[in-house]
Structure 1
Amino acid sequence: MNKHNELTSIEMVEEFIQKHELVFLYVSRPECSVCHALLPKIRVLLEPYPMVYLGHVDANQVEEVASRFLIFTVPTMIMFVEQREYIRADRFVHFDRLEEQLQQIHRMYS
């Protein structure tokens, strides 16, 4: 199972992306009901992919995340492969498409 990492500063976010080859960054806000509903589904979706590290960022706490990663709405999910953005999804996520993309990455890295 993917460890859920709370990232509480922009420095932690940057270090997390640099440290791990495959990173799934989940950016949310506490007052966002969609954010609360999607995070457990994202955890389940990532379970078959233990090589993907899940990082969670509260955009209220880490305000710089919005400008650093051009985030205009929450939730925003960004998949980094070797520190490069590979997948981006926000607000309304198409889980079938997201899973297909994760399977492609898995095939490349397993």
Structure 2
Amino acid sequence: MSIIPTMIKSKEQYEELISREDPLLVYFSSQNCNVCHAVLPKVMELVDEYPLEVAQVKVDELQEIAGQSLVFTVPTILVMFEGREILRESRFIDFAKLERTLSLLQP
């Protein structure tokens, strides 16, 4: 099974996704960020084990969403559950912490 991230195209789409009850991982990245490109495959490999949706926000195109979400550096990962942020990791991603959080969301 391989998860393909949903590309966020609008503020409305983003707000609808983050308000859901189901677990969601939001990956904020930039086209010109080499770290973002290196981290994304590792994130996708990790989340493949868990029942959650993954969305990607390209901050170059959607600066308003990044600002409203208080994302000031990329990559940033938000894990949402029941419409609330339960984990935020920025720049240097702690994969062990991310995995522990995702394991708590298992049914």
TM category, shorter: over 0.9
Deviations 1:33-85, CA, capped at 9 Å, x for gaps: 00000111111000111x21000010011111122110110011000001100
Assess, with a 3 A threshold, how the Cα gap between structure 1 residues 104 and 34 changes in structure 2: closer, same or farther: same
Q: 2:31 maps to what in 1?
A: 30
2:72 aligned with 1:66, yes or no?
Answer: no
2:16 aligned with 1:15, yes or no?
Answer: yes
The answer (yes or no) to whether the contact 1:20–1:53 under 8 Å persists in 2 is: no
SS at match of 1:27: strand
Assess, with a 3 A threshold, how the Cα gap between structure 1 residues 10 and 63 changes in structure 2: closer, same or farther: same
Structure showing the higher helix proportion among its residues = 1
State, as a whole percentage, how many aligned pairs show the same letter: 34
Indicate the RMSD between aligned Cα atoms, in angstroms.
1.2
List gaps (5 residues or longer) in structure 2. none
C-alpha distance in 2, partners of 1:7/1:93?
Answer: 21
SS at match of 1:2: coil
Q: 2:4 maps to what in 1?
A: 3
Q: 1:91 maps to what in 2?
A: 91
List gaps (5 residues or longer) in structure 1. none
What is the TM-score of this pair, normalised by structure 1?
Answer: 0.90
